[in-house]
């Protein structure tokens, strides 16, 4: 176990528990505090190597606590956390000695990367994080006819200022296509803001989209950050109907009102929306407002699944290997002819994202030398059992129950394979750690109990 001790200060018990579990899984020692009084005591007695400090607490706020520690001298790295953060708050915190500032809802990749840098004393501009870093592909990759056509369609649409709806399966590259469209447009020198509705708690969606006004403090939302440029809406079909109506009103009026605010803000944005769902079906079932659908669906793009352009697999593999060697300092390994043929013939249910994860798994967990077909098969993992081979009893129960049973069995199987290592499980299951921990908790799975068996 690493010797670094981290103090987590937050008045929300669920956040304390989640952050503690994730950090402990990364082998840090964690102490928690629910308010400023217990934080002072833990800071004095435990002598942490790093503090994760919430701003809003019931007794003394985090900025005041940071000032106290700063005046006392010998300040350890402090990372400020807040769901109500503003640029002014961030500047004030860093002026007082905070290492960095991260907003809630927390991205676990960002959190772990920041913790890593803080403990190493490395700033953002110097960092190549060992955790949470993903390749930022700037253009849809591939020489197949399908991918050449996709790039051509994107460039033609980018020459206009039309709004765009991008459809495609999970992990096929919709976000890459959207970013490439912005990059090729006349708005490319203006902001590109993104918001994912599926990743946000319901109560946070409106403040994150429209912004929040509280007394003298202002939180700028995604719409306002995109002003003059492009707003990318991830998985628009996941947006609740009431917020859809509010979004539609803002887009039609070309102005918004922040949550808790009164003065409207003028808007000039291009909207690009993505959806892995059948949007026409979502409209017919009442999950996506028809008026919003027609506002967004001016131009339509479809990103093909990887199984339809498997001739691009070698180029994608080469890109991800080179990127991970350069940016994550992973050892270079080449694929044997048999292994590459297996990759070409694989069906890729998780699309390009699954391919990226397989490459990363082989470079992180593998040994030196050429990657052969047997090692590749292990990295691809167990394949889902065909539905016709499942016991008939599985089909004689509600879908929710059957799904929970499968998910529990799937996660327990891979936890045993990874000896209870949740980081490796997140890689195998292609899940963000925050969602994975919530899923494990909801299914009653304790990684620690599997780890000790």
Instruction: Give tens-digit pLDDT for 46-86.
Output: 788 899 998 888 778 888 888 888 766 556 889 988 765 55
What's the confidence (pLDDT) of residue 359? 92
Nearest Cα to Cα of residue 35 among 50, 56, 51, 18: 56
Domain extent at residue 413: 387-451
Residue that finishes a domain, picked among 361, 380, 399: 380
Q: How far is CA 179 from CA 97, 193, 194, 316, in A?
A: 35, 10, 10, 18
What's the confidence (pLDDT) of residue 388? 42
Let me know whether 242 and 193 are in one domain: yes
Nearest Cα to Cα of residue 137 among 432, 308, 356: 356
DSSP state of 259: B
**131 domain residue, yes or no:** no
What's the residue count for the chain?
453
- The bridge status of strand 164-167 relative to strand 100-103 is unpaired
Sequence-distant (≥ 6) Cβ neighbours of residue 270 within 8 angstroms: 161, 163, 182, 185, 187, 229, 230, 231
What's the confidence (pLDDT) of residue 371? 94
- Tell me which residues of the chain have a pLDDT lower than 50: 1, 122-133, 382-389
Let me know whether 116 and 205 are in one domain: no
What's the confidence (pLDDT) of residue 451? 61
Let me know whether 297 and 150 are in one domain: yes
Let me know whether 27 and 51 are in one domain: yes
Our count of domains for the chain comes to: 4
Let me know whether 257 and 296 are in one domain: yes
- What pLDDT digit, counting tens, does each position of 97-131 carry? 788 778 777 777 778 878 887 887 643 333 333 33
Is the full-model pTM beyond 0.75? no
Residue corresponding to tokens 């060697």: 325
**195 domain residue, yes or no:** yes
Q: CA–CA separation, 3 vs 27, rounded Å?
A: 9
Classified as helix, coil or strand, 371 is strand
Q: CB–CB of 301/256 below 8 Å?
A: no
Q: CA–CA separation, 69 vs 392, rounded Å?
A: 63
Q: Where are the beta strands (DSSP E) in 354-417?
A: none
- Token output for 194: 């993104």
Residue corresponding to tokens 């990226």: 356
Q: CB–CB of 210/257 below 8 Å?
A: yes
Q: CB–CB of 235/274 below 8 Å?
A: yes
What's the confidence (pLDDT) of residue 394? 62
What's the confidence (pLDDT) of residue 126? 33
What's the confidence (pLDDT) of residue 163? 94
Nearest Cα to Cα of residue 191 among 275, 269, 133: 269
Q: Where are the beta strands (DSSP E) in 86-163?
A: 100-103
Q: CB–CB of 188/228 below 8 Å?
A: no
What's the confidence (pLDDT) of residue 125? 33
Let me know whether 9 and 100 are in one domain: yes
């Amino acid at each position: 176990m690493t010797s670094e001790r981290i103090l987590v200060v937050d008045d929300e018990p669920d956040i304390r528990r989640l952050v503690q579990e994730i950090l402990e899984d990364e082998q840090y020692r964690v102490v928690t505090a629910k308010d400023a009084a217990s934080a002072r005591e833990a800071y004095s007695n435990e002598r942490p190597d790093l503090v994760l400090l919430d701003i809003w607490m019931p007794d003394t706020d985090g900025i005041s606590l940071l000032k106290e520690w700063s005046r006392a001298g010998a300040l350890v790295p402090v990372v400020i956390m807040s769901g109500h953060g503003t640029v002014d708050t961030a500047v004030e915190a860093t002026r007082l000695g905070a290492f960095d500032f991260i907003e809630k809802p927390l991205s676990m990749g960002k959190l772990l990367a920041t913790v890593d840098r803080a403990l190493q004393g490395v700033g953002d501009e110097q960092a190549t994080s060992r955790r949470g870093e993903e390749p930022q592909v700037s253009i849809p990759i591939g020489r197949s006819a399908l991918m050449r056509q996709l790039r051509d369609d994107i460039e033609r649409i980018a020459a206009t200022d039309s709004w765009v709806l991008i459809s495609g399966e999970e992990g096929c590259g919709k976000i890459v296509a959207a970013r490439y469209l912005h990059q090729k447009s006349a708005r490319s020198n203006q902001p590109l803001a993104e918001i994912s509705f599926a990743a946000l708690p319901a109560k946070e969606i409106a403040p994150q989209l429209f912004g929040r006004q509280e007394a003298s403090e202002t939180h700028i939302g995604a719409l306002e950050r995109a002003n003059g440029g492009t707003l990318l809406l991830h998985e628009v079909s996941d947006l609740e109907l009431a917020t859809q109506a509010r979004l539609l009103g803002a887009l039609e009026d070309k102005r918004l009102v922040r949550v808790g605010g009164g003065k409207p803000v003028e808007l000039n944005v291009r909207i690009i929306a993505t959806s892995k769902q059948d949007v026409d079906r979502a409209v017919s079932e009442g999950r996506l407002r028809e008026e919003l659908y027609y506002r967004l669906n001016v131009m339509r793009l479809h990103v093909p699944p990887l199984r339809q352009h498997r001739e691009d697999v070698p180029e994608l593999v080469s890109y991800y290997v080179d990127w991970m060697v350069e940016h994550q300092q992973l050892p270079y390994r080449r694929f044997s002819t048999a292994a590459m043929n297996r990759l070409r013939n694989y069906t890729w249910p998780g699309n390009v994202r699954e391919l990226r994860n397989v490459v990363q798994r082989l470079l992180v967990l593998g040994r030196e030398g050429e990657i052969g077909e047997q090692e590749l098969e292990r990295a691809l993992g167990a394949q889902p059992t065909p539905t016709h081979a499942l016991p008939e009893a599985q089909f004689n129960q509600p879908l929710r129950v059957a799904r929970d049973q499968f998910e529990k069995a799937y996660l327990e199987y891979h936890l045993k394979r990874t000896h209870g290592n949740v980081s490796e499980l997140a890689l195998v299951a292609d899940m963000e750690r925050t969602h994975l921990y919530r899923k494990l908790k909801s299914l009653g799975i304790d990684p620690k109990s599997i780890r000790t068996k």
